[in-house]
Amino acid sequence: MVEDAPYPQQSAPSPTAAEAERGERLRRISPTRTLEFGEHRLTYLPDGFVQLIPRAWFPETGGGDWQRHGEHLDRDGYLVASVGSLLVEHRGRALLIDTGYGPRRTAPADSYPFLGAEEGGRLPAGLAAHGLAPEAVDTVAFTHLHEDHVGWAFAPDSTGSGLLFGSARFVTSATEWRGWHGAPSAAAARHLQQNAVGASDGQEIFPGVRAWNTPGHTLGHTSYIISSGGRRLVVIGDALHSAVQVERPEWRVLVDSARDVSVDSRLRILRELSAPDTLGFGGHFADVLFGRVVTDGSHRRWEALDSGE
């Protein structure tokens, strides 16, 4: 059990079945979920998970905060974060946004002091079950280049001489590419030399998908806005790691490169998500990845969509 597990909750009325299901979804990782979105089909493909230690991840919070928001914590006191990819399909083309953690598992003792376990490995099987071969993906876009977002991007193909997504352009902001530590293999270096794209703010990187600069978590962090059928969906990336931040965007995050800038980006994203006909995708939001921001007076909250809504 992590040290900052929530304080015991005061007695409350028994939840309804719908409330109980929502609570469970806040504390478990997401399975594959699909959203039909105008001319686009959006599918979350799971790769694994990461456990966040709440008072280490949000170092300015205390036990009282997690007593009030204890519905977000699992039985061991962790914030559960899904890790995977968003597959965007449009007229026979395929875009992947982020590529999970890759084929490995890191135990808590070997991880960072603000994390529990971290695990990946499921993305290729998810693509296969969806009927899509890796070579059918023509664009891979990254919100940023942390290890739980690029895990499969630089994995070798079946021959070992190329990359799993060797037919794809690799897209993120120019700032993010400049701040990266470099290709992990010779095959990756060759691929990036020919296929890396530094997207500018507002640039369309795939039909109906535009880059949106949202710095803070990293200096080059990029969200994406998908427009289709008169609606928009904001791919949040790591500007927010948990649905609790919709209610508490001012909470600074230990691992953000520029914490105050990140707060500003969160507030911009929440204003955008409060607009009519606008949905969101929070890639780490447990099993409430697709949702909308609902505002009651000055209070914001995340309302998860049912699969297929």
pTM above 0.95, yes or no: no
Domain membership of residue 74 (yes or no) is yes
Domain span at residue 245 reads 30-304
Question: What are the phi and psi torsion angles at 186 (to 5°)?
Answer: -65, -40
Tokens of 180: 């990266």
- pLDDT mean across residues, the chain: 93
How much is the average pLDDT of 161-171? 96
The reply to whether 20 falls in a domain is: no
Report if residue 109 sits inside a domain: yes
Q: Has residue 296 got a pLDDT over 70?
A: yes
Give the residues across from 211 on adjacent strands.
Answer: 224
DSSP string over the chain: --TTPPPPPPP-PPPPHHHHHHHHHHTS----EEEEETTEEEEEEEEEEEEE-HHHHSTT--HHHHHHTGGGB-TTSPEEEEEEEEEEEETTEEEEE---S-S-EE-GGGS-TTEEEEE---HHHHHHHTT--GGG--EEE-S---HHHHTTTT-B-TTSSSBTTTTSEEEEEHHHHHTS---SSHHHHHHHHHHEEEEPTT-EEETTEEEEE--SSSTT-EEEEEEETTEEEEE-GGG-SSTHHHH-TT---TT-SSHHHHHHHHHHHHHHHTSTTEEEE-TTSTT--EEEEEEETTEEEEEEPPTT-
Q: Max alpha carbon distance in the chain (Å)?
A: 60
Q: Number of structural domains, the chain?
A: 1
What does the angle CA 222 – CA 227 – CA 230 come to, to the nearest 5 degrees? Answer: 150
Please check whether residue 25 lies inside any domain of the structure: no
d(CA 139, CA 167): 8
Which residue type is seen at 199? A
* Residue 197, number of CB atoms within 10 A of its CB: 18
85 vs 78: CA distance, rounded Å: 22
Q: pLDDT tens for residues 61-108?
A: 999 999 999 999 999 999 999 999 999 999 999 999 999 999 999 999
pLDDT 10s digits, 98-154: 999 999 999 999 999 999 999 999 999 999 999 999 999 999 999 999 999 999 999
Given a cut of 90, whether residue 291 has pLDDT beyond it is yes
Residue 2, in any domain of the structure? no
Is the pLDDT at 281 greater than 90, yes or no?
yes
Percent of the chain with pLDDT over 90: 88
Q: What is the pLDDT of residue 283?
A: 98
Q: Is it the case that residue 12 has pLDDT exceeding 90?
A: no
Percentage of residues of the chain with pLDDT beyond 70 = 93
Q: Give the CA dihedral 273, 279, 284, 287, nearest 10 degrees.
A: 130
Determine contact, residues 197/185, Cβ cutoff 8 Å: no
pLDDT bucket at 258, cuts 50 / 70 / 90: very high
**154 lies in a domain?**
yes
Q: Are 64 and 10 in contact (CB under 8 A)?
A: no
Q: Which of 187, 182, 245 is nearest to 216 (CA)?
A: 245
pLDDT in tens, 209-257: 999 999 999 999 999 999 999 999 999 999 999 999 999 999 999 999 9
Residue 182 reports pLDDT greater than 90: no
Report residue 2's pLDDT band, with 50, 70 and 90 as the boundaries.
very low
Residue 3 lies in a domain: no
Domain containing 101 — which CATH number?
A: 3.60.15.10
